[in-house]
């Protein structure tokens, strides 16, 4: 009975898995885990309607808590995993915020879960360094660094290496708890604070659970209430209908909302069921995506919160300048649209894109830290606008199918090795983009979609053949990744998250 460590204790792991940390995790588990399980079970009963039912006793003009000084200006945020090299590059990047990601960009390999926490603590202490296999040395620069906003795993994931009374701990509570215990007071001493990105929420009740976790955690460590700040990723379509209520539940700890575009597309495929076109065709300008982002900006600014745009996934090529020129033009177009629509900042996945994003937002913001107070044209976004998936492009091609299969298999091969963010075809792929690929294949298969360019019907046999042909172009062994991809993309029952069966294959 009690808390048990089921994973190996590698060098320095005891610094993170301390008696204080384990006691804190056990308290989180016993206090909140049953609510987490109940809320996950309730996801199957969702409706796509604006709720507006949680604020009856509140004044109509309520606002979220004012942003702390180092979260006032968020014009460019860099996102990436917490390995030592990425942490150093992100903190040296010149971005305003580093999204230190223990979710989509980090696989929950035990070494990553605990090693990432060590890297974060070392970074705050100024002792983090890294030497590559080639002998290249990485160290933190002097001078201003981005504010760190830590993203724990979603509510649906568990941590099999930490057990309480024989039950796995929540991955969310594990990541949050370890970071909070070891870094909250360090951050405060450094003039910052414990800031979080909250992923995969599907209702305001899930936001209420996080708010209660924050209140409990601050009380346990003697930190003033409201010190924590949270930015919620609106990356599921149920959450898009509850943005205002989500901010209300977190209002004493809320910092903003983010347009988590990749998972949002995945959620549309999963929740609505209408056939989507090739992944590259689902841009932010199609009607239902545009409605979602316009609603997000207006909801945030009405409540005094930051609206943060989506990730530019392009990875610069060191060999082909023409690829960079074309891709950077698309990034500039995307960030120009976001800044013009009222977003206060946006994400990039590579340090080379920090100045690109910064220049565009500088041109709109100037010396202002954000544009929360800038009036926007009144737009009436309806429930029908968010659900109008059939009003986008409809093209489905073999080229798109091949890309989805190849990306899905290549990504899963990396994921199973412990690498959660990987460059494929000059794009940074993470769990969110891989989910689009495999769910799209699954959807086309279930609907026997006809490909526009070849006239072929998508069948299991066609997916099998293309998988073999795409793997033949690659080096290495993709046997396990191929089997896993077929399990999550080519079986009748839809697997809720590909990371669930993938995690069971991980040591």
The catalytic residue positions are 151, 430
Instruction: Assign 12 to helix, strand or coil.
Output: coil
Closest CA to 101 of 69, 132, 79: 79
* C-alpha distances out from residue 166 to 41, 153, 292, Å: 21, 21, 42
Torsion of CA 312, 318, 322, 328, to 10 degrees: 20
* C-alpha distances out from residue 174 to 33, 132, 180, 209, 342, Å: 11, 29, 10, 15, 35
β-bridge mates for residue 457, sequence order: 450
- Count Cβ atoms below 10 Å from residue 474 Cβ, excluding itself: 12
CA angle 254, 152, 174 (to 5 degrees): 115
Contacts of 149 (CB under 8 A, 6+ apart): 71, 77, 97, 98, 99, 100, 195, 196, 197, 231
Greatest pairwise CA separation for the chain in angstroms: 65
Contacts of 471 (CB under 8 A, 6+ apart): 409, 478, 482
Q: Is 54 exposed, middle or buried (0-12, 13-18, 19+ CB in 10 A)?
A: middle
User: Can you point out the beta strands (E) in 375-499?
Assistant: 422-424, 427-429
Q: Which residues of 281-312 are buried (b: 16+ CB within 10 A; e: fewer)?
A: ebebebebbbbbbbbbbbbbbebbbbbbbbbb
- Look at the block and give the residue holding tokens 């209520």: 245
* C-alpha distances out from residue 223 to 40, 45, 228, Å: 29, 37, 9
User: Can you point out the beta strands (E) in 229-380?
Assistant: 229-234, 254-259, 306-312, 345-348
Q: Is 457 exposed, middle or buried (0-12, 13-18, 19+ CB in 10 A)?
A: middle
Instruction: Assign 266 to helix, strand or coil.
Output: helix
- For the chain, give the number of residues: 507
- Look at the block and give the residue holding tokens 């997000």: 296
β-bridge mates for residue 129, sequence order: 139
Pairing outcome for strands 167-170 and 422-424: unpaired
Instruction: Assign 233 to helix, strand or coil.
Output: strand
């Amino acid at each position: 009975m009690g808390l048990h460590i089921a994973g190996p204790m590698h060098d320095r792991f005891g610094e993170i898995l301390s008696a204080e940390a384990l006691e804190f995790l056990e308290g989180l588990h016993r206090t909140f885990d049953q609510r987490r399980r109940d809320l996950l079970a309730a996801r199957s009963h969702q409706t796509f309607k604006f709720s507006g039912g949680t604020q009856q006793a509140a004044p109509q003009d309520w606002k979220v808590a004012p942003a702390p000084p180092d979260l006032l200006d968020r014009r460019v945020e860099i996102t990436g995993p917490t390995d030592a090299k990425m942490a150093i590059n992100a903190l040296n990047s010149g971005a305003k915020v580093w999204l230190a990601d223990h979710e989509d960009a980090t696989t929950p390999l035990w070494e990553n879960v605990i090693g990432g926490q060590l890297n974060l603590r070392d970074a705050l202490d100024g002792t983090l360094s890294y030497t590559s296999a080639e002998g290249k040395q990485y160290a933190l620069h002097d001078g201003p660094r981005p504010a760190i906003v830590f993203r724990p795993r979603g509510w649906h994931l568990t941590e099999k290496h930490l057990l309480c009374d024989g039950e796995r701990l929540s991955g969310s509570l594990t990541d949050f708890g370890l970071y909070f215990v070891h870094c909250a007071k360090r951050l405060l001493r450094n003039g910052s604070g414990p800031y979080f990105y909250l992923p995969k929420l599907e209702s305001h009740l899930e936001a209420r659970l996080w708010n209660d976790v924050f209140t409990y955690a601050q009380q346990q460590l003697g930190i003033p209430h409201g010190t924590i700040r949270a930015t919620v990723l609106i990356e599921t379509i149920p959450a898009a209908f509850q943005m205002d209520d989500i901010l209300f539940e977190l209002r004493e700890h809320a910092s903003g909302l983010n347009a988590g575009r990749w998972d949002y597309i995945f959620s549309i495929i999963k929740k609505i069921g209408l056939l989507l076109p090739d992944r590259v065709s689902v841009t932010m300008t199609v009607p239902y995506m545009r409605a979602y982002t316009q609603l997000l900006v207006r909801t945030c600014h009405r409540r005094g919160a930051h609206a943060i745009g989506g990730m530019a996934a392009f990875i610069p090529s060191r060999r082909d300048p023409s690829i960079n020129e074309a891709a950077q033009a698309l990034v500039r177009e995307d960030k120009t649209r976001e800044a013009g629509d009222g977003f206060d900042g946006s994400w990039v996945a590579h340090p080379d894109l920090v100045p690109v994003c910064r220049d565009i937002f500088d041109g709109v913001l100037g010396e202002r830290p954000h544009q929360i107070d800038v009036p926007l044209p009144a737009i009436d976004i309806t429930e029908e606008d968010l659900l109008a998936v059939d009003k986008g492009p409809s093209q489905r091609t073999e080229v798109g199918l091949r890309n989805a299969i190849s990306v899905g298999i290549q990504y899963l091969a990396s994921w199973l090795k412990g690498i959660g963010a990987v460059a494929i075809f000059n794009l940074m792929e993470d769990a969110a983009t891989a989910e689009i690929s495999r769910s799209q294949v699954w959807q086309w298969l279930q609907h026997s979609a006809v490909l526009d360019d070849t006239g072929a019907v998508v069948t299991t046999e066609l997916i099998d053949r293309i998988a073999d042909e795409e793997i033949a172009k690659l080096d290495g062994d993709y046997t396990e990744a191929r089997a896993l991809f077929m399990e999550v993309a080519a079986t009748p029952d839809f697997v809720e998250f590909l990371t669930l069966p993938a995690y069971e294959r991980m040591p």
